[in-house]
Structure 1
Amino acid sequence: MPTRSELDAAYRATRYRVFLPGGVRELRIGTPDGTLAAWLAGEGAADWAVLTACNPASKRLAEAENRVRQAALEVALLEMGLEPYTAENVADHAGWPAEESCFVTGLRADAARGLAARFGQNALVCGAADGVPRLVWITAAVDGDESEDR
Structure 2
Amino acid sequence: GKKTRSGKGHAAPAQAAAGTENTNPPSAAELKAADFSGTYACTGQDALEGPYTGTVKLTRVDAHSTGNQGSYQFTLEVPGYGLYSGEAVSDGTMMAMHFALADQTTRDYGTGIARFIRTKQGKWMFNKFYYEPEFKGGNHGSELCVQQ
Settle same-fold status: TM greater than 0.5: no
- Identify, as 1 or 2, the structure richer in strand: 2
Q: Under a length normalisation based on structure 1, what TM-score does the superposition of the two structures give?
A: 0.29
Larger radius of gyration: 2
- Name the structure, 1 or 2, with higher relative contact order (CA <8 Å, separation 6+): 1
